[in-house]
Amino acid sequence: MLFPRERANAWNYGYKELSNFIRQSPDTNFVIDNTRNPRNYILLLYFLDYPPSIYQKEVNPIYKVDYYRSLPPETSYKFSNIEVRGIDWEKDPCIKQVLAGDKLSISEDQAKEHELEKVYELKDQQERIIFQGYKTNPEKKCK
């Protein structure tokens, strides 16, 4: 069994807290890694109280016209100041933004290599890292 305390990540723990962190920085752009949870964007929309009428204007038009057809699933989502997708290690460190994800999204070695500065960390009740956020430093990394 997957109990909420022992397997918090399986219960999508932390998206409310991550949303609160994002809400505190409306002028900052965020990339949220979705490699292990491809539909996590919906949790962010929910916890950010993002207006459905606005999101419907931002969604890929093909899904508005032909929703019930077997369309390829989206792999990235963009709304407000947030992009939900895999991290592009060639381009993303050269853009001023915050990269966020779980412990596998950004390793300590990657943070050092790309001159990232940790600005956020959320742990579960077992003290395991659920989310971490790193601010990019394009002026250092991409001279």
Residue 75 within a domain: yes
Count: domains in the chain: 1
Beta-carbon contacts of residue 88 (< 8 Å; ≥ 6 apart): none
Sorting pLDDT into bands at 50, 70 and 90, what band is 3? low
Of 32 and 75, the one with more pLDDT:
32
Compute the distance between CA of residue 80 and CA of residue 86 in angstroms, rounded to an integer.
18
Sorting pLDDT into bands at 50, 70 and 90, what band is 86? very high
Beta-carbon contacts of residue 82 (< 8 Å; ≥ 6 apart): 22, 29, 30, 31, 32, 44
Sorting pLDDT into bands at 50, 70 and 90, what band is 9? low
Residue 86 within a domain: yes
Position 72 scores a pLDDT of 75
Residue 63 within a domain: yes
Sorting pLDDT into bands at 50, 70 and 90, what band is 11? low
Residue 48 within a domain: yes
Residue 140 within a domain: no
Give the structural domain span for 83.
8-128
Percent of the chain with pLDDT over 90: 63
Residue 107 within a domain: yes
Tell me the residue ranges of DSSP E strands in 1-143.
30-32, 77-79, 82-84, 98-101, 117-123, 129-135
Residue 137 within a domain: no
